[in-house]
Amino acid sequence: MPFIPRSESLARLRAQVNAGRPIIGAGAGTGISAKFVEAGGVDIIIIYNSGRYR
> Which tens digit of pLDDT belongs to each residue from 4-53?
899 999 999 999 999 999 999 999 988 899 899 999 999 999 988 876 66
Domain that holds residue 49: 26-54
DSSP state of 52: G
How far from the centroid of its chain's Cα atoms is residue 36's Cα? 11
Is pLDDT at 54 greater than 70 in this prediction?
Answer: no
Beta bridge partners of 28: 47
This prediction's pTM = 0.70
In a domain, 31, yes or no: yes
The helix (H) or strand (E) run that includes residue 3 is none
Expressed in angstroms, the distance from the first to the final Cα of the chain is 29
The band of 1, judged by pLDDT with boundaries at 50, 70 and 90, is low
In a domain, 13, yes or no: no
Query: What pLDDT was estimated at residue 39?
Result: 94
Query: What pLDDT was estimated at residue 45?
Result: 92
In a domain, 21, yes or no: no
In a domain, 49, yes or no: yes
In a domain, 45, yes or no: yes
- Our count of domains for the chain comes to 1
Q: Look up residue 25 and give its amino acid.
A: G
